[in-house]
Every structure is written in structure tokens, then in C-alpha cells.
Amino acid sequence: MALIIFSVNGGAQVKKLPATPAKKTVFIKNPRTEKEWIKAQIDSLTCFKMHGRGYVYNGKDEAAKYIVKQFKEYKLKGLNKDGTYTQGFSFPVNTFPGKQILTVNDTKLKAGEEYLIDPASPSWTGENMEVQKINLGKIKDSTAWKETLAEFDQTHVWYLENSEALCTKLKIRLDKLVRLLPKGCFVIPEQNKLTWSLSRDTMPATVYYVKEDHLPKKLKSVTGEVREVLLDKCSSYNIAGIIPGEVKDTFIAITSHYDHLGMMGDSATFAGASDNASGVAMMLSLANYFSKHPQHYSLLFVAFAGEEAGLLGAEFFTWHPLVPLKSIKFLTSIGVMSDVSNGITVVNSTDYPIELEKMQQVNTKNSYIKEIRSKGQAANSNHYYFSNFGVPSFFVYSNGGKEHYHDVFDAPELINLSNVGAATRLLMDFIKVLN
């Protein structure tokens, strides 16, 4: 990924929703187990006022405030000169505040559950628009595709069948294919689960992905409304603190990302209980523990923003480090940590066999988890940019708990925290042996 120059000044923000009673979260102040402690943290990180820790209604800022409060409670030291914890940066992101509507024939569909809006879509409004169906699977090559593109107009809604077949012929992913579409509205049926993401820009076309079993056999008309706002400079914050050790200038780093997708409209919330409230909860559990048990080396804790928009918080930190990167002896980035019944996966472990062996030895001695799977390099989380700068790094995540990845069902009431306590103790002991 190319280096992006960020502004530390805040950009435009979407107006907050009116105050609405939140579902009461029962926070256990003195939990009996690590699992109870982590569950309480997940409940807090996914409550109503967090709005999915995204870019609509300032959800990410509420999450940042919460993590800062936790760091203060554990008496971590802020890395800024004034003792504060936040590192500000900004980037563009496309958002969907307000009401989003899709009605097919006379049936209104549920946002998030039955349809998604492509995250790069612009605003669009249409009432009882006639639908034209086209079978993309019959398009033979790129020349025929260009001819088809010229036929699309804005007086119809276009229903695109067999888009995957065309993607295979053109050797292009669907998210790239839709960016070739002209201005107008398009409906693409989806047989698999609906999986959302973020975009930092917009494209000409407005695209709905609709669960195929919620589409009528004869789709005649579409009424829809997409309200989109592109934030050119959306302010976000990395949150960093340290627990000083005997050696003040050498660090073992524990990181996680706290941002998620937020909301698509005023009804579809992507709470991100597994991704990545669970990872942040485990990071906070470790911070709480080590604040009472300082180690030989200092411990650096960083909660990153902007991960879902392209690992942006970690990228910014590595280009503007709050501690010298050479002073980080080892970094462990914590991803989804919910269902650990089948163990964890450790990315980058093939590059650091000595550290992997230490983790394996800790696990064998204590029989914490079923399996530690080893994996090579991958640009799938915050460790990536640190690795590029030569910082020895692991990225760990549970082998289970990802069935609701990036969908509206990744909610706290559905999360499975099997064996998460044992995984927490494994990382505690691993950090100790690194010291």
C-alpha cells in the first residue's frame, strides 16, 4: 500500500443521532474469570452509543474515549508530552448516515440482513423504477463488456445476473467490476452471506447487493434511497500507553484495532463483537493484569484506529512512531479472539520460529488451548507495517468466531467465547517469557 499523507486536523463530522435509551450493559467490576471480564468489555464496546465503532454518528470517537478511560484506570502512562494517550490522524471515508431504503416490487427489504449498499456507492433516489435484467454470464469478452456498458442508462434499474461468471472471464474481482459501471442504479443478487466493508472514495454507480432468496422471480420495479456522505478528512485516533519496566527504553508491544464498520443507515448496525471488540477486550485484559505485574521490559499497548479502512492507524504509527521502532523487541497484534475451542493461528510465525517455540512450550506446559497453527507473512492486520519496518511481529487470532465476519450478526448476544480465558493466560505467559 502506498504511503498516504494524513492531516492531524479534524474534518467534517456527521451530526449525532438524538439520544436514545441504550440497552443496559451489566459490567462486572470484579469478574471471577478472564472470560467474564472479556465479555463485560465486549458488551461495553458494542453498546448502542458506540454505533458499531465506525464513521457514522461518531461511534469510533465514543470507543476511543472508552479505551482512554480504561488506560487511565489501569494507570498506563501516556506517550504524549502532556501525558495524554491519543495520536490523531485523518483520512477520507464514505459513509451512509440517515435512512436507507430498498423496496422491490411492493416489498421493503431490511438493510444489512437482506441487502447491502456497495460502500463506494454515491447517493441515489428512485421511485417505482422499471427494472431491466441482463445476464452478464452471456458476455463473451472485454470488447462485448465495453459495448454492454454503453447500453446502461439512468432511466432503469439494472438487474445484473451471473456477475461472477463475467468476473471469471475478465479476471477481475466483483468490487473492481462494479467500479466500471456508469452512473445509475444496479441490483446484484447474492447467494452467499452478505459481507460489508468500507471505501475511501466513491464510484459512479449505486449498487445494491441483495440476498437472492429475498428477490421475487419477476422483479418489475425498484424504489430506493441511498444517502451518502464522503468525509474528506475523518478524524481518528490511535491510543497508546506504556507500563514501565525495569528497562525503560525497550518495549514488548501488545496491540489491537478498535474500529469497525459502524452503521449503514439508521437501522443496520455492524457491532463487531468478534471483530474486533473481542481482540480489544483481550488487549485490555492484558493491560489490566500487567499494570499490577510490571515486567523486565516496558510494555507498550496500542489500540489502532482505521484498520478496516486499510490498516491506516498502524501505517500512520510506523511513519510517526511514538517510541523508536528499533526499541520494540517484539510486537503481538490481537485480532478476533472469541471462539478458541479449536485454538489460535499465529501469522508471521514462520519468520520467528524461536518466539513460536516459546509460545508452543508455554501452551504444552499448561495445556491452555487445543492447537497453535503456524502461518507465514500476510498483510491482514496491524503487524504488517511493523514487519515492513523490521519489528519482529506476530498477529494472533482465534480459529473460530469468524462466521459472522463483517455482517450485522456479529453481535454480543451471539458471540461464542469458548476457552477465551485460557487464550488470555497463554498470551500473558508468552509475554512473560519474552521478558
> What CATH code is carried by the domain that includes residue 307?
3.40.630.10
Q: Which of 177, 201, 226 is the last residue of a domain?
A: 226
Q: Which of 172, 193, 226 is the last residue of a domain?
A: 226
Band (pLDDT 50/70/90 cuts) for residue 1 is very low
pLDDT, residue 21, reads: 31
| Cell numbers linked to 101 | 431504503
Same domain, 195 and 282: no
> What is the rounded average pLDDT of the residues 210-238?
96
Band (pLDDT 50/70/90 cuts) for residue 13 is very low
Beta bridge partners of residue 374, listed in sequence order: 346
* CATH number of the domain to which 140 belongs: 3.50.30.30
62-114 pLDDT tens trace: 999 999 999 999 999 999 999 999 999 999 999 999 899 999 999 999 999 99
Percentage of residues of the chain with pLDDT beyond 70: 93
Same domain, 290 and 350: yes
Residue 145 lies in a domain: yes
Q: Which of 205, 226, 247 is the last residue of a domain?
A: 226
263-313 pLDDT tens trace: 999 999 999 999 999 999 999 999 999 999 999 999 999 999 999 999 999
Same domain, 239 and 373: yes
Phi, psi of 277 (to 5 degrees): -60, -35
Residue 25 lies in a domain: no
* 25, pLDDT greater than 80: no
Task: Write the CB contacts of 238 (distance below 8 Å, at least 6 apart in sequence).
Answer: 86, 87, 89, 302, 303, 304, 305, 313, 316, 317
> What is the rounded average pLDDT of the residues 305-325?
97
What is the torsional sign of CA 222, 225, 231, 237? Answer: negative
Which residue did the predictor score with more confidence, 2 or 335?
Answer: 335
How many angstroms separate the CA atoms of 103 and 99, rounded? Answer: 13
HSE on the CB side for 244, CA within 13 Å?
A: 7
Same domain, 331 and 301: yes
Residue 311 lies in a domain: yes
pLDDT, residue 32, reads: 72
Residue 123 lies in a domain: yes
Same domain, 260 and 209: no
Same domain, 272 and 348: yes
Where do we find the cell 454470464? 137
Residue 315 lies in a domain: yes
| Cell numbers linked to 26 | 451489566
Percentage of residues of the chain with pLDDT beyond 90: 91
* 371, pLDDT greater than 90: yes
Same domain, 322 and 400: yes
pLDDT, residue 31, reads: 59
Which residue did the predictor score with more confidence, 23 or 157?
Answer: 157
Band (pLDDT 50/70/90 cuts) for residue 9 is very low
How many angstroms separate the CA atoms of 40 and 319, rounded? Answer: 34
Q: Are strands 86-95 and 229-243 parallel, antiparallel or unpaired?
A: antiparallel
164-195 pLDDT tens trace: 999 999 999 999 999 999 999 999 999 999 99
* Three state DSSP letters for the chain: CCCCCCCCCCCCCCCCCCCCCCCCCCCCCCCCCHHHHHHHHHHHHCCHHHHHHCCCCCHHHHHHHHHHHHHHHCCCEECCCCCCCEEEEEEEEEEECCCCEEEECCEECCECCCEEECCCCCCEEEEEEEEEEEEHHHCCCHHHHHHHHHHCCCCCEEEEECHHHHHHHHCCCHHHHHHHCCCEEEEEEECCCCCCCCCCCCCCEEEEEEEHHHCCCCCCEEEEEECCEEEEEEEEEEEEEEECCCEEEEEEEEEEECCCCEEECCCEEECCHHHHHHHHHHHHHHHHHHHHCCCCEEEEEEEECCCCCCCHHHHHHHHCCCCCHHHEEEEEEECCCCCCCCCEEEECCCCCHHHHHHHHHHHHHHCCCCCEEEECCCCCCCHHHHHHCCCCEEEEEECCCCCCCCCCCCCHHHCCCCCHHHHHHHHHHHHHHHC
Same domain, 400 and 285: yes
pLDDT, residue 30, reads: 60
Which residue did the predictor score with more confidence, 392 or 17?
Answer: 392
Residue 147 lies in a domain: yes
Of 8-22, 23-37, 92-106, 290-304, the range with the lowest mean pLDDT is: 8-22
Domain, as residue range, for 147: 101-226
Phi, psi of 432 (to 5 degrees): -65, -45
Same domain, 266 and 216: no
Residue 377 lies in a domain: yes
* 27, pLDDT greater than 70: no
Q: Are strands 124-135 and 157-161 parallel, antiparallel or unpaired?
A: parallel
Residue 166 lies in a domain: yes
Same domain, 126 and 275: no
C-beta separation of 16 from 51 below 8 A: no
Band (pLDDT 50/70/90 cuts) for residue 7 is very low
pLDDT, residue 229, reads: 97
Where do we find the cell 469478574? 31
Phi, psi of 263 (to 5 degrees): -130, 145
Total domain count, the chain: 2
Band (pLDDT 50/70/90 cuts) for residue 413 is very high
pLDDT, residue 2, reads: 34
Same domain, 289 and 328: yes
Band (pLDDT 50/70/90 cuts) for residue 24 is very low
pLDDT, residue 20, reads: 31
How many angstroms separate the CA atoms of 401 and 385, rounded? Answer: 25
Q: What average pLDDT does the chain have?
A: 92
Q: Are strands 268-270 and 262-264 parallel, antiparallel or unpaired?
A: antiparallel
Band (pLDDT 50/70/90 cuts) for residue 414 is very high
Of 12-16, 63-67, 308-312, 353-357, the range with the lowest mean pLDDT is: 12-16
Same domain, 364 and 238: yes
